[in-house]
Structure 1
């Protein structure tokens, strides 16, 4: 037997061609073979499990060496600790040294322990760099495991070693630190995470259980969704769909529109819901829930809420309510809630299509009325189909709209959006049956007085214009209202009145009644159009000849000046001009007309001419402004 003594701590000898270290059979393994195992483990079980594997492996090596050193009664406890790095280096793991040490023992009990040191030329970091390149964190798991196992075995209490920097990260050397587990506090969680990793088979078993649970959850969600879809196909309403969901999960359900008006509900007293809704507050931590589902708490429990989308816009909300003490099944319930929102979206789309179809039919009916295609009896009979009594007095409203500035939206988008908003306004807010016809840049509304009295007509149209301005801030909305009519066959005449009136509406006064036109409204018609144009030419002279943008600017200045009764301050404010700028324009206009603008009689004649100009030359003026 031949003995090779490296020092007093590590004895290597050969017996029957087998190698032994400190009387334990040993094998020589190259660092390259370790690197291959390292690479295969990461590729097959992942780096997190590889950490656990190597840490425990190093821990066992350290414990075994500690047991050998513990047999040497001649050594002090501190000497036994200091021999750890020496044995570590002798075994070829790394060149190891201690740089700092704090060690306190009272009555054979460890009170404090803090050692720091370095590893140079770590075989583990070397192989990681060769196989994977630079790491984002420490990689010497067998080394930290060895140090942890060795010191724990020597001192008899749990310690933990970790790397503060590592060659695998590109640092010049590995820096380590060891303390009592109790001293690491939160950082000791890394140690416990290593120790508590489940065996792969156990983890696979738990994963399989989770997959089975997910499969059952998906089956339940799929079954509920199929039942809801079948109800939808049958043409049943939202109440029957909520019955299916309520029967499955026994939860209170609420469906609201975008204004949070309740459309349908199940399993809840609406008065209780309204009173508790004000106390809803969003719960910040929503990790357990579906990304589109918000969690709210309120006095009596918890609510899950998800939006209903239609054509890319939120049109409503679906909510599940949980009484206090009931634990929500977030994963399953959020999926079912999402499917319910999808079904509600389809219901809303169906309702939207039906409403639009009805509105188009009504609009076509209005066109036919104005064309004189039907007799009065035929009109009354057809109006019954849309639940509208046209034997009553009525008004025609002309609602025009245009973009105030250049906008990314197209005119068609504004036209479609305005039609939908006006239709929804009368249907959902005012609850009125109104016929809506369409012209380029204009909606024609027929409103009967059995629904809105003449006194309330202006108030309602003002509210409508304000609503439209709020919803579409970059557009201008103007309205003209016809005189009261009783004969439905004269709807075409009423429309012309409304269109004439709207041409005198402005941003300052967006609504004009045909009756506001006074005598001018009676005079303007096809028979005397030439006479009206002559009157305009006589009064406006060169301002009317060869109209262009510059002359339209003078005409608009004159109109505002007369409308404000000759008040310079109010005129300047309405035109956003300085007083000096306004005086310059008025002097220019006076010179062009060669008339006294302060003469009351002359003011009346000029105002009549300007109003007539806005009406009879409306299309021409609009074309010049668009150039």
Structure 2
């Protein structure tokens, strides 16, 4: 019995000892000493091999980025053109690339056609309206994914560079980010260079235009030579346009900033149409010397497009466009300038562009400051409502506001601070005095011209 107990106790003791040893040194239980050492060596070799392989891949990827950056930098030095930059990038990247300006217009693209690129823009711009992008971001949008970086210049966003991904494809990697950010940096440099060139060119043209207006040239030949140096052909006809600007409730600092932006917008407008013009600031506006016949097909609807472009970009300002007649004699520059400015004074809200030739005899009289002749014509057009008494002036002002607001009673009454019923009575009275149909478009035009001419010379 003692022997049996002793044997069991020894067995139990040995078992407990083995469990204790296993807990203290699990390797001794799982592996023999020799096999554990071999396994550890193999594991270390595998980890080292994996680390080396990852480092090699990173090194190769980094070298690829450096090679692409060098190629892009060399092309930047050679051409300073984004189209050439994207052509270089196309050799290394198959992703669609889109570059756009701050007005949401695509300026350059690669590995994608323009129409397809435009399809991707809607969801992106919708996202931008809700969220301001300040750094490189990966966006998952409705119909695509996009890696995008803003183009900054002087703390302002000039546009965006984007790589486009299919919605089902994996997200971008560090390689894509590095290349996109390098492309964005190059785009910024190109924009800055182009901006400096544009500003220098505009200053040169402005100085030349001022000299022409001041008649500081010894001969026409000297003017032609300087214009030819700026690629401006004045061997044919030319005309003048005046963009009149008025600011609504803006500080002077804001006015100056907006004027500078509008001035640049005018330059870009004509550059996009491959037109070289002269422009200069004049009397709260911008004066443009356009070397083309105002009736030429390329100029058709030009002032309206010009106005719409400015109004869309800067809705807080009032702008009107006056267009002069056409001449082929540079001696008439000052006269045409006055015509354009006169035409701009006759514009109204529903007709923001005006050609001087449309003003007829009244335009000529205002232009030549023939006040007595203006008064005579106004008397013929306005009849008994024209006069110097307060009632006459009240009638003229009422008719002027009624016509300038397109016959809209609500707008006219608000402008005159008059009740609708009171306005109706007054308009009826004016119609009876004039004996004219105020709904006739030609009559409206003639009456409004006469009233505007009187307003210009301060009659009411």
Unaligned regions of 5+ residues in structure 1, if any?
1-14, 28-56, 64-198, 284-289, 546-550, 622-627
More helix by share: 2
What does residue 189 of structure 1 align with? none
In the TM superposition, what is the alpha-carbon distance from 1:524 to its structure 2 partner?
Answer: 2.8
Give the 3 Å change call, closer, same or farther, for CA 597–277 of structure 1 in structure 2: closer
Judged with a 3 Å threshold, the aligned counterparts in structure 2 of structure 1 residues 213 and 255 are, in CA distance, closer, same or farther, namely same
Aligned CA-pair RMSD: 5.3
1:278/1:469 CA distance change after superposition, 3 Å: closer
Instruction: Report whether the alignment pairs 1:368 with 2:211.
Output: yes
Tell me whether 1:541 sits opposite 2:382 in the alignment.
no
In 2, are the aligned partners of 1:399 and 1:502 still within 8 Å (CA)? yes
2:336 is matched with: 494
1:441-590 mapped onto 2 (5 Å cutoff): 441-449=284-292, 453-454=295-296, 457=299, 459-524=301-366, 528=370, 539=386, 541=388, 556-561=397-402, 570-575=407-412, 577=414, 581-582=419-420, 584=422
* SS of equivalent to 1:484: strand
Q: Give the corresponding residue for 1:420.
A: 264
Task: Indicate conservation of the 8 Å contact 1:308/1:344, yes or no.
Answer: no
Aligned-partner Cα distance in 2 for 1:412–1:554: 39
Report the secondary structure of 1:224's partner residue. helix
Aligned-residue offset at 1:416: 1.7
For each residue in 1:361-395, what CA deviation from the matched residue of structure 2 results, as whole angstroms up to 9, or x when unmatched?
A: 22222222111112322222222112222232222
- How far the C-alpha of 1:484 sits from its partner, in A, is 2.2
Q: Normalising by the residue count of structure 2, what TM-score does the alignment of the two structures yield?
A: 0.67
Which structure features the higher share of strand residues?
Answer: 1
Partner residue in 2 for 1:334: 177
Alignment of 1:81-92 (within 5 A): none
Q: Equivalent of 2:229, from 385, 388, 399?
A: 385
Distance 1:445 1:616, change over 3 A: farther
Higher relative contact order (CA 8 A, sep 6+): 2
Shift of 1:473: 2.7
Aligned counterpart, 1:166 = none
Say which SS state the counterpart of residue 309 (structure 1) adopts. strand
Distance 1:370 1:26, change over 3 A: same
C-alpha spacing 1:244/1:447, structure 2 compared with 1 (3 Å): closer
Counterparts of 1:317 and 1:24, CA distance in 2: 68
Runs of at least 5 residues in structure 2 that lack an aligned partner in the other structure: 1-12, 27-42, 125-134, 380-384
- CA deviation after TM superposition for structure 1 residue 457, in Å: 4.2
Contact kept? 2:236, 2:291, Cα under 8 Å: yes
Residue 239 (structure 2) aligns with: 395
Deviation per residue, 1:146-165 (Å, 9 max, x gap): xxxxxxxxxxxxxxxxxxxx
Q: 3-state SS of the aligned residue for 1:402? A: strand
Aligned to 1:228: 72
SS of the counterpart of 2:388? helix
3-state DSSP of counterpart to 2:244: strand
Query: Residue 306 of structure 1 is aligned with which of 148, 153, 161?
Result: 148
TM-score (norm 1): 0.52
For the residues of structure 2 that align with 1:355 and 1:581, how far apart are their CA atoms? Answer: 53
User: 1:277–1:558: structure 2 CA closer, same or farther, 3 Å change rule?
Assistant: closer
1:70-89 equivalences under 5 Å are none
**Could you tell me how far apart the structure 2 residues matched to 1:416 and 1:331 are?**
39
- For 1:544 and 1:616, the matched residues in 2 are separated by 19
How far 1:559 sits from its partner (Å)?
Answer: 0.9
Paired residue secondary structure (2:319)? strand
Alignment check: 8 A CA contact 2:98 2:117 kept: no
Tell me how far 1:263 sits from its aligned partner: 3.7
